[in-house]
């Protein structure tokens, strides 16, 4: 069983942009957004993935991710619920942690969130100055929910 321990935060300023180590364009959609599980298709640059995630319990959930041929990813993405999420992911290292900052586009433009994966739920974390409010347990910030209720609808 794969386990993901992840915390998610809003980003309060652009200071992180000075430390970008990598970036990638991501398109992702959902074949299933059942409350107990999600099935996601993601195309990231030249790779495609099929990912199944369980319901989160705190910051922990089961995760199974499989690389699939890019042609299959494109076909499966066309089958996903609309809208398809589009975002740019930036990687920033801070105190031995890799932060993934997602800057959303299209229907979710204006939303920027930072995620960090941990090896243990109680792992000590040094917060960069650009990290804002924690939204780990706020469902509306889950990508699967952003596909159903985009950020542009919140205002």
Q: Are 141 and 135 in contact (CB under 8 A)?
A: yes
Q: Are 102 and 82 in contact (CB under 8 A)?
A: no
The residue extents of the domains of the chain are: 3-153
Q: Residue 99 pLDDT more than 80?
A: yes
Q: Which residues are catalytic?
A: 30
Residue pLDDT, tens place only, 5-32 = 899 999 999 999 999 999 999 999 999 9
> How far from chain centre, in Å, is Cα 19?
19
Residue keyed to tokens 């790779």 = 47
pTM of the model: 0.93
Question: Quick one: 96 exposed, middle or buried, by C-beta within 10 A (0-12, 13-18, 19+)?
Answer: exposed
pLDDT-derived band at 1 (thresholds 50, 70, 90) equals low
Architecture of domain 3-153: Beta Barrel (2.40)
């Amino acid at each position: 069983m794969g386990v993901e321990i992840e915390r998610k935060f809003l980003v309060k300023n652009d200071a992180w942009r000075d430390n970008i180590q990598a970036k990638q364009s991501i398109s992702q959609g959902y074949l299933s957004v059942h409350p107990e599980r999600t099935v996601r298709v993601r195309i990231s640059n030249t790779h495609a993935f099929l990912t199944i995630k369980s319901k989160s319990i705190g910051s922990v959930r089961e995760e199974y991710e499989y690389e699939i041929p890019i042609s299959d990813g494109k076909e499966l993405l066309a089958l996903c619920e609309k809208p398809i999420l589009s975002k740019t992911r930036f990687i920033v290292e801070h105190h031995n942690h890799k932060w993934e900052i997602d800057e959303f586009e299209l229907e979710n433009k204006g939303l920027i969130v930072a995620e960090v994966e941990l090896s243990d739920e109680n792992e000590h974390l040094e917060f960069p100055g650009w990290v804002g409010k924690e939204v780990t347990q706020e469902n509306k910030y889950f990508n699967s929910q952003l596909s159903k209720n985009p950020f542009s609808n919140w205002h």
